[in-house]
Amino acid sequence: MPSFIADSLPDHWGNKVFNEWAKAHNISTRNLSALDRLAYIGRRGMGALEFLPPAAEEMEQPFKVEITELYKLAQSALNEAKSFKAEAHPDLLIESLFKVGTSAGGRRPKAIINLNKETNECYSGQVATPMAGFVPMIIKFDEQLDVPTTRIEYSYYLMAREAGLKMMPSSLMVGEKAAHFLTERFDRQEGKKIHIQTLAAMNPSSDSYEDLFETACRIGILPSEQKQLFLQTVMNVLGGNVDDHNKNFSFLMGSDGVWHTAPAYDYTFSVDPSAPGYMNRHSMTINNKNSDFERSDLLELA
């Protein structure tokens, strides 16, 4: 399987949803190949790649979303011990989560939606470009952990913006019981799909910031945009974002075929204070180190 397709396959969270959905449909996931999974993604994937014919075209129809309902279901998907079938309208809900919860990557529970920021009205965001007034977004659900992850991610977003790091407009959706993190999608612009690739897809063995910059140079990223990447590097070090693995950097292609760095995302405090030190090392190295960076390491990279 060529690595550029890797971003389109369901990731940790997407597979969790996929597996629960398959269970409800008596589909054995052991017999599903990567191609089968891509066919289920169909035209619903992130970025611009589409896989035709889709295994289930009806998955692509937009529908109205009740965030609280979707959130409840996402919570039960997280807690695999609870059966989806215990829900009041299992089929309807599990189909909904499947349609909006399988394509976006990452480990944390999330969904792709089209949101009207004025009215908070929400539609699913699989394929269709939004109606006027609706913005394509990723919603990262409140996980109700001891640590308020979504609030921390939002405060890091504010800090990063203040430091001049390019990030998509983001906000917190605060309800009585939960605070969800919302971020606008950079792979949808003016109703069009934008081709994106993570560093992982472009250079699967990359495990250092040197690899990140080497890849950026290879695809012709302009110095001004490399400066953004360097700012992001410094912010990751200063902010304790140790979850800086190669899927947390992306490049996007303009309509003229020129590559650009994508806005930064998943910028948050990812040190676990209760874990031993060796667990809190950066995922990617700088100057062959993955902790205790000094100014000289960053300057060496620069």
Contacts with ligand ATP by CB under 6 A lie at 46, 104-108, 138, 168, 183, 185-187, 198, 243, 247-248, 250, 265-266
- Residue selected from 206, 248, 268, 270 as contacting Mg ion according to rule CB under 5 A: 248
Looking at beta carbons only, is 25 or 204 nearer to ligand ATP? 204
Question: Of 125, 152, 149, nearest to 138 (Cα)?
Answer: 125
Closer of 124 and 248 to Mg ion (Cβ)? 248
260 binds, among Mg ion, ligand ATP, none (CB under 5 to 8 A by kind): none
Buried b (16+ CB within 10 A) or exposed e, 245-280: bbbbbbbbbeeeeebbbbbbbbbbbbbeeeeeeeeb
The residue among 189 and 226 lying less far from ligand ATP, judged by its C-beta, is 189
Nearer to ligand ATP, 201 or 286 (CB): 201
Q: In the chain, what is the straight-line distance between the N-terminal and C-terminal CA atoms, in Å?
A: 34
Residue among 196, 282, 200 at smallest CA distance from 247: 200
Nearer to ligand ATP, 10 or 105 (CB): 105
Minimum CB separation of residue 266 from Mg ion in Å reads 4
168 binds Mg ion (CB under 5 A): no
Instruction: Please list every residue from 72 through 131 that binds Mg ion, using CB under 5 A.
Output: 106
Question: Which is nearer to Mg ion, 22 or 202 (by Cβ)?
Answer: 202
Maximal C-alpha separation, the chain: 58
266 near Mg ion, judged by CB under 5 A: yes
Q: How far apart are CA 9 and CA 215, in angstroms?
A: 22
Nearest residue to ligand ATP by CB is 106
Say whether residue 7 binds Mg ion (CB under 5 A).
Answer: no
Q: Which does 285 bind (CB under 5 to 8 A by kind): ligand ATP, Mg ion, none?
A: none
Find the residue with minimal CB distance to Mg ion: 266
Phi and psi for 56 in degrees, rounded to 5? -150, 90
Q: What distance in Å separates the CA atoms of residue 15 and residue 35, rounded to the nearest whole number?
A: 14
Per the CB < 8 A criterion, the answer to whether 104 and 81 are in contact is no
Residue 198 interface partner, choices Mg ion, ligand ATP, none, CB cut-off 5-8 Å depending on type: ligand ATP
3-state secondary structure of 135: strand
CB of 202 to ligand ATP, least distance (A): 12
Smallest gap from Cβ 149 to ligand ATP, in A, equals 8
| CA-based nearest residue to 202, from 217, 223, 185 | 217
Is the CB of 107 or the CB of 218 nearer to ligand ATP?
Answer: 107
b/e 35-53 (16+ beta carbons within 10 angstroms → b) = eebbbbbbbbbbbebebee
Q: HSE, CB side, 13 Å, CA atoms: give it for residue 133.
A: 8
* Residue 153 in the binding site for Mg ion (CB under 5 A): no
Kindly list the residues in this chain that would bind Mg ion in the complex (CB under 5 A).
106, 248, 266
